[in-house]
């Protein structure tokens, strides 16, 4: 499955704009508005996921994306996932940021609950990590919405398989929010 270069650039731009914020809080409330230091920015929490909306000062366009960051107890990011609607597409896309030091030829996979793994193609690595985009077709979205937990798997350079758990609690509500906001800006 190939993803267009424009989708990749848009989603990576969203990732680069993320400040160093903690993983979406596991609060009791379905949504919680949190004010950030940056003006024209709001973050809504949906259990383990969060929606970040930005309205740059020089434009009227609001861009919103859904994200989750998985970190070690030390605070080091092991995995982050961003889901957004690229400006040129009606379909959402996800970008997985994997840690450096993975065995690139093996690629990566995401497995939702006990379903068949979905292959992630690592397209590039930079100082922040390795980037693997995924077009979110209807089948993949259905799995993510109905699932409870996903595992993102990859091999380290020693051949050891690493499986990072990714909670799907709040994904459906967060995805509905970015879909609603996406339709409002088109």
Q: Where are the domains of the chain?
A: 5-185
Proportion of the chain above pLDDT 70, given as a percent = 77
Topology adopted by domain 5-185? Immunoglobulin-like (2.60.40)
Strand partners, 44: 33, 51
d(CA 76, CA 112): 24
Note the pLDDT tens digit of each residue in 160-185: 999 999 999 999 999 999 999 887 77
Q: Is the pLDDT of residue 16 over 90?
A: no
The helix/strand/coil state of 178 is helix
The overall average pLDDT reported for the chain is 82
Q: Is the pLDDT of residue 33 over 90?
A: no
Q: Give the predicted TM-score (pTM) of the model.
A: 0.80
Tokens of 183: 């339709």
Tokens 């996979």 -> residue: 109
Q: Determine the pLDDT at residue 184.
A: 74
Average pLDDT over residues 89-100: 94
d(CA 180, CA 125): 32
Strands of the sheet with 149-155, listed across from one edge: 118-120, 108-112, 149-155, 161-167
The helix/strand/coil state of 17 is coil
Tokens of 52: 């970040």
């Amino acid at each position: 499955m190939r993803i267009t270069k424009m989708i990749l650039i848009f989603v990576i731009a969203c990732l680069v704009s993320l400040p160093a914020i903690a993983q979406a809080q596991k609060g009791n409330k379905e949504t919680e508005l949190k004010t950030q230091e940056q003006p024209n920015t709001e973050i809504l929490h949906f259990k383990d996921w969060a929606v970040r909306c930005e309205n740059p000062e020089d434009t009227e366009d609001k861009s919103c994306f859904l994200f989750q960051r998985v970190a070690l107890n030390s605070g080091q990011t092991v995995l982050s996932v961003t889901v957004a609607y690229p400006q040129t597409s009606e379909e959402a896309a996800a970008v997985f940021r994997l840690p450096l030091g993975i065995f690139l030829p093996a690629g990566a996979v995401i497995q939702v609950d006990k379903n068949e793994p979905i292959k992630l193609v690592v397209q590039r690595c930079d100082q922040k990590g390795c980037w693997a985009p995924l077009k979110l077709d209807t089948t993949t979205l259905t799995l993510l919405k109905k699932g409870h937990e996903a595992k993102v798997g990859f091999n380290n350079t020693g051949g050891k398989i690493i499986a990072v758990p990714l909670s799907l609690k709040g994904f459906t509500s967060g995805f509905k929010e970015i879909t609603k906001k996406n339709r409002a800006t088109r």
